Structure 1
Amino acid sequence: MHVVTPFQMRRIDQRAIEEFGIPGIVLMENAALKTVELVFKYYPPYNWNYPYGSTSLNKNYKEDSGENTLVQAEKISNVLVVAGCGNNGGDGLAIARHLFLAGYNAAVFIVSEGGRKPKGDAGINLNALLSLQESYADSDALQIRWIEKRKDLFALQAALNKTHLIIDALFGTGLDRPVDGLYAAVIDLINEKQNGSRKAVPVVAVDIPSGINGESGKVMGTALRADHTAAYGYAKPGHLLFPGRDYAGRLHVVPISLPGDSAEYVQADMFTLSDEEAAGMLKIRPRNSHKGTFGRVAVIAGSTGMTGAAHLTAQAAMRSGAGLVTLGIPSSLNPIMEQKLTEVMTWPLEDKGSGHLVPESYQDAEKLLKDKEALAFGPGCGKNSGVLEILRNILGSFNIPIVIDADGLNHISRDMNLIRRHKAPVVLTPHPGEMARLTGLKVEDIVSRPVEIAAQMAKEYGCIVLLKGAASVVAEPGGRVYINASGTSGMAKGGSGDILTGMIASLIAQGYDTFDAAVLGCFIHGRAGEQAAGHLGETGMTAEYILNAIPHTFKGLYELTK
């Protein structure tokens, strides 16, 4: 699915209004209704009173499958909406109207600093809500209050003690300044209430959690943590990059009836994947196949003390569907790998008894690579100077796609022009520390600007860059950028990256486009990690369990294609 920046989203909205004649108030109403559906699904009301003709929506939510299924959830009655005075606040006011009419008690708090009031479409929704309150003057089920001074926070604090759900509609994705004043006080009060409670009140964020930058995912001074976020039209980078991804909770990208070519119109070059989209990228494995059909992978990895990296890389290549995998290993370590590996073949590389690659290893490596479709190079190779010598010869002499990781990256950082010399695709898979060595930048800069830095390197060196992290980024020279949404903290263990390297090399050997192989490998790697964590928990799982989960993950995705 496409990912658009806040600026691109503004252009999309503007085009829908000006060129297609879709009034802004209609887009706001569509956004509100989709958020209300989300609330119905996870936090249904005690007294269902949906006003539009029948209870068919209630019925559908009980009987439908998939995304429209009414989950097993505790029914609630009291909803608190905190709204700003901009369009995000207008969304919140429309949501409050629908929730009240559906049977919830709605307490609405509008934060107005400096006398500002909702205008335009937001003002229309405010007037509609005020009229509704007047019509139900004999009931206190709909309350509208203003927060204009610090003393008004006492009423909010009292309402927080009674509410069962909070709708966050203070700021949208365009926030580009630190949150301060009354807005910061409101956010801090809600966070304080959440942190001090035994059972935190769930929060549904309108488009993005207030206080999160929609471009970078950074916290702009302070921010609200949501359990669910309804992202309107498209996901934004701030939903997927940390810490914004943590604050967003479960992300729901909901349609608001924008023109279907909107992403193309703004030339959106970022995307992420759903399970269905990943499944759609998988190649059909024909029945009349043989092991050569699915590619031959070479792995050059390992040194004394690092045989595990070689084992994980080679096994990951095999378990990701390659027909044949051969591990090139320093010759003195070959007996160890012969015992550790069954399906993977080994190929001893001359090491002069050192347990490390030496310049003389290249002659054996040359023979290894003659009939291979992809090479995984670097995991556990060590710091010996022979590694760079072999890498230089391979990049200069062989027309083979290569995935370079770990020690391979550390060595190539000494001569980055080698990448340009290679006549076949190159995939670099650095973590932020390795990226710092490749670029000369500080780790903090890389972590704070992963999309920009990965894209810049991909363009400069004409290669695929997979910048690993909690939200890995894959960039290609043409400008496309993938932001990965799969994975778990349990994958922050030694060996996880080695597995990813083997997976990508395997997919390339099977005939996948190099960029697609990096994207798909990254996504499936994360899903396998999630599956491992589901069985063992994040604390105790190791890379070996990610390895074991790879076949199950592929199986699950292939089943989605049936």
Structure 2
Amino acid sequence: MYVTTPEEMRKIDNRAIEEFGIPGTVLMENAAIRTVDVIQEQYPALIDGGKVIVLAGCGNNGGDGLAIARHLMLRGVKTQVFTFFAEDKFAGDAKLNLDIYKRLGGHIELVTCEEDIKKLEQGIWQANLVVDSIIGTGIARDIEGLIYKSVDMVNKSSTPVVAVDIPSGINGKDGKVMGIAIKSKHTVSFGYPKRGHILYPGREYTGRLHVVPISLPKDSAQAIGVKAFTLDDGELAQNLKERPRQGHKGTFGKVGVIAGSLGMAGAASLTSMAALRGGVGLVTLACPASLVSILQSKMTQVMCYPLQDKQQGYLTVDAIPALKDFLRDKDVLAIGPGLGSKCDALEIIRYIFREFDISIVMDADALNHISKDKKLLSSYRGSIVITPHPGEMARLTGKSIDEIVVSPIETAAAFAKEMGVIVLLKGAASVVAHPEGSIYINFSGNAGMGTGGSGDVLTGLVAALIAQGYTPYEAAVYGCYIHGRAGDYARDKWGETGMVAGDILNELPLVFKDLFCLKE
């Protein structure tokens, strides 16, 4: 499913109107009908004498709200519209819907002072639902004045809110709060989801997102060059590869893992086991020789390949001669988790880059070490997926963590293009960027996944998918989504507070099972 910016959505709407002759009034009418359908589905008791307050702006978002008020009224719902703009501020389709609503007996309340806000507050406390259509994706400046006070009052009330297209106050491009924003229970988005629905903090204000069709041409997003997309269970299920019945362990690929050091053997274990849980046929972990007995007792299904560490508990350049034999039959390499700061990882990476061209998934300490010579990334002949969190991305880019958290898409896309690598930038809404411009924004996962080792599980999972024949970009995208769904499964079982990375790991088979059931 494509994800648009406000500017892209304007182009899509204009194309429908200008090239295909679909009037804006038709798009607005379809949007209203679809929204009312969602409202009726979520709040069926409204039809039996319920009351709805509609907050309407004077632009197209307000026009949508007025059309929604009309359709609710025609279905027997008591409606009352409050607006912050005089009638002469309404124009075009918004003015048309204002006039129709009034002709049908609808009542408009104008909010111009504190007394009017008190009247609005009384109406909201008496209502069963609030429909927010004050400001849509075209918001250009912070909300202030009477609208600010009204939004604050709505948020403090217990009356649920359905937002029209996007909660008022949320920037549709980056999810930022423009002064203040409506906290909605549901948001009905027209045609496509917007980036502001998925990126934080906008995602917290969106509530449950409903994306509804409004008769836009099917090729709209492709035609205007939308680059961003997201996934759901159904879409991903259709893209999963069936496991052939005659397959064997060699059929499903071989993953090599270079990970672990004294005190961080768990990272190596989580990465290796995640590769197995991700469906790969064989996993071999190359780790400091002094840790092999610990790791083999912990993981009976993973083969261990001891690398020289001179009993220090971390890898040095002395491990390099053995890597040629270790990597000779591997389809993909996962490197980095738990290697530690003392490891000679940069020299190990230089050797691998010089001698091999297999796909590589790089995480954690591999990224911390290569940040000292990041141009190495662009020199590699094979494919690279990097999976940094904001701190690791800050070291790679020289940006602050705050800059990266605020602009994850721009940060990931720029680095992917510059270095020619696939960037899976982890966060509350993880982003996967391809060097050629495609952007995936992840919609799965939860706050319970903010726990040590969660990223190690992701690294192993992405490596497993590459080994099974998915392209590195597909593996990064699908792995990101599946990892988040496993986190959601773990949350549903244990709650967010006490979740650990092993819980996410253990849910991976169930996620795959359910996805393959959808495919059937």
Structure 2 partner of 1:31: 31
Task: Verify: 1:110 aligned to 2:68, yes or no.
Answer: no
1:408 match: secondary structure:
helix
Q: CA deviation at 1:539?
A: 0.6
1:57-94 per-residue CA deviation (whole Å, 9 max, x = no partner) reads xxxxxxxxxxxxxxxxxxx7111110100000000000
Q: CA deviation at 1:265?
A: 1.3
Alpha-carbon distance in structure 2 between the residues aligned to 1:45 and 1:505? 49
How do residues 87-166 of structure 1 correspond to structure 2 at under 5 angstroms?
Answer: 87-112=60-85, 116-133=88-105, 142-166=106-130
Residues 40, 47 of structure 2: 8 Å contact kept: no
1:305-338 per-residue CA deviation (whole Å, 9 max, x = no partner) reads 0011000000000000000000111000000011
Alpha-carbon distance in structure 2 between the residues aligned to 1:116 and 1:441? 47
Structure 2 partner of 1:16: 16
Q: 2:227 aligns with which of 264, 269, 279?
A: 269
Residues 207, 232 of structure 1: 8 Å contact kept: yes
Task: Verify: 1:455 aligned to 2:413, yes or no.
Answer: yes
Alpha-carbon distance in structure 2 between the residues aligned to 1:476 and 1:27? 33
1:465 match: secondary structure:
strand
Q: CA deviation at 1:116?
A: 5.0
Give the counterpart letter for 2:330 in structure 1.
Answer: K
Residues 163, 186 of structure 2: 8 Å contact kept: yes
How do residues 360-439 of structure 1 correspond to structure 2 at under 5 angstroms?
Answer: 360-439=318-397
- Gap change, CA 1:45 and 1:472, over 3 Å in 2: same
Residues 32, 91 of structure 1: 8 Å contact kept: yes
Give the counterpart letter for 1:188 in structure 2.
Answer: D
Alpha-carbon distance in structure 2 between the residues aligned to 1:5 and 1:539? 34
Structure 2 partner of 1:558: 516
Q: CA deviation at 1:452?
A: 0.5
How do residues 189-228 of structure 1 correspond to structure 2 at under 5 angstroms?
Answer: 189-192=153-156, 194=157, 200-228=158-186
Give the counterpart letter for 1:538 in structure 2.
Answer: E
Alpha-carbon distance in structure 2 between the residues aligned to 1:265 and 1:499? 37
1:335-385 per-residue CA deviation (whole Å, 9 max, x = no partner) reads 001100111111101101101011011122221111000010000000124
2:107 match: secondary structure:
strand
Q: CA deviation at 1:15?
A: 1.0
Q: CA deviation at 1:263?
A: 0.4
Q: CA deviation at 1:149?
A: 3.0
Residues 255, 332 of structure 2: 8 Å contact kept: yes
Residues 125, 159 of structure 2: 8 Å contact kept: no
Q: CA deviation at 1:147?
A: 1.2
Alpha-carbon distance in structure 2 between the residues aligned to 1:176 and 1:463? 34
Q: CA deviation at 1:148?
A: 2.6
Structure 2 partner of 1:323: 281
Give the counterpart letter for 1:155 in structure 2.
Answer: K
Task: Verify: 1:498 aligned to 2:456, yes or no.
Answer: yes
Q: CA deviation at 1:46?
A: 5.0
Alpha-carbon distance in structure 2 between the residues aligned to 1:122 and 1:46? 25
Percent of aligned pairs sharing the same letter: 54
Alpha-carbon distance in structure 2 between the residues aligned to 1:212 and 1:385? 45
Structure 1 partner of 2:4: 4
Task: Verify: 1:41 aligned to 2:41, yes or no.
Answer: yes
Count of residues in correspondence between the two structures: 520
Residues 85, 116 of structure 1: 8 Å contact kept: no
Task: Verify: 1:85 aligned to 2:43, yes or no.
Answer: no
After TM superposition, what 4+ stretches of structure 1 lie above 4 angstroms from structure 2? none
1:196-226 per-residue CA deviation (whole Å, 9 max, x = no partner) reads xxxx211100000000000010000000101
Give the counterpart letter for 2:310 in structure 1.
Answer: K
Q: CA deviation at 1:520?
A: 0.1
Q: CA deviation at 1:117?
A: 2.7
Task: Verify: 1:442 aligned to 2:442, yes or no.
Answer: no
Residues 45, 103 of structure 1: 8 Å contact kept: no
Give the counterpart letter for 1:346 in structure 2.
Answer: C
Alpha-carbon distance in structure 2 between the residues aligned to 1:483 and 1:35? 25
1:500-553 per-residue CA deviation (whole Å, 9 max, x = no partner) reads 000000000111011000000000000000000001111111111100000000
1:112-142 per-residue CA deviation (whole Å, 9 max, x = no partner) reads 17x7532110111101110111xxxxxxxx5
1:500 match: secondary structure:
helix
Q: CA deviation at 1:253?
A: 0.9
Q: CA deviation at 1:108?
A: 1.0
Q: 1:507 aligns with which of 454, 457, 465?
A: 465
Q: 1:333 aligns with which of 291, 315, 326?
A: 291
2:143 match: secondary structure:
coil
Q: CA deviation at 1:47?
A: 4.3
Alpha-carbon distance in structure 1 between the residues aligned to 2:493 and 2:361? 30
Give the counterpart letter for 1:555 in structure 2.
Answer: K
Give the counterpart letter for 1:308 in structure 2.
Answer: G
Alpha-carbon distance in structure 2 between the residues aligned to 1:241 and 1:426? 25
1:263-317 per-residue CA deviation (whole Å, 9 max, x = no partner) reads 0111001000011111112111111111111100001110000011000000000
2:66 match: secondary structure:
helix
Structure 1 partner of 2:216: 258
Alpha-carbon distance in structure 1 between the residues aligned to 2:355 and 2:416? 22
CA root-mean-square deviation = 1.1
Structure 2 partner of 1:59: none
Alpha-carbon distance in structure 1 between the residues aligned to 2:185 and 2:322? 55
Consecutive unaligned residues of structure 1, counting only runs of 5 or more, are 49-75, 134-141, 195-199
Alpha-carbon distance in structure 1 between the residues aligned to 2:484 and 2:65? 34
Residues 162, 185 of structure 2: 8 Å contact kept: yes
Give the counterpart letter for 1:124 in structure 2.
Answer: L
Deviates more, 1:272-281 or 1:464-473: 272-281
1:167 match: secondary structure:
strand
Residues 297, 375 of structure 1: 8 Å contact kept: yes
Residues 396, 418 of structure 1: 8 Å contact kept: no
In the superposition, the TM-score normalised over structure 2's length comes to 0.98
Residues 432, 468 of structure 1: 8 Å contact kept: yes
Give the counterpart letter for 2:103 in structure 1.
Answer: S
Alpha-carbon distance in structure 2 between the residues aligned to 1:160 and 1:276? 38
Residues 527, 553 of structure 1: 8 Å contact kept: yes
Alpha-carbon distance in structure 1 between the residues aligned to 2:312 and 2:333? 23
Q: 1:479 aligns with which of 437, 447, 451?
A: 437
Q: 1:468 aligns with which of 426, 449, 453?
A: 426
Q: CA deviation at 1:101?
A: 1.3
Give the counterpart letter for 2:4 in structure 1.
Answer: V
Residues 378, 419 of structure 2: 8 Å contact kept: yes
Residues 46, 128 of structure 2: 8 Å contact kept: no
Structure 1 partner of 2:137: 173
Q: CA deviation at 1:151?
A: 2.8
Alpha-carbon distance in structure 1 between the residues aligned to 2:503 and 2:262? 23
Alpha-carbon distance in structure 1 between the residues aligned to 2:344 and 2:24? 64
Residues 80, 160 of structure 1: 8 Å contact kept: yes
- Gap change, CA 1:298 and 1:555, over 3 Å in 2: same
Alpha-carbon distance in structure 2 between the residues aligned to 1:125 and 1:45? 26
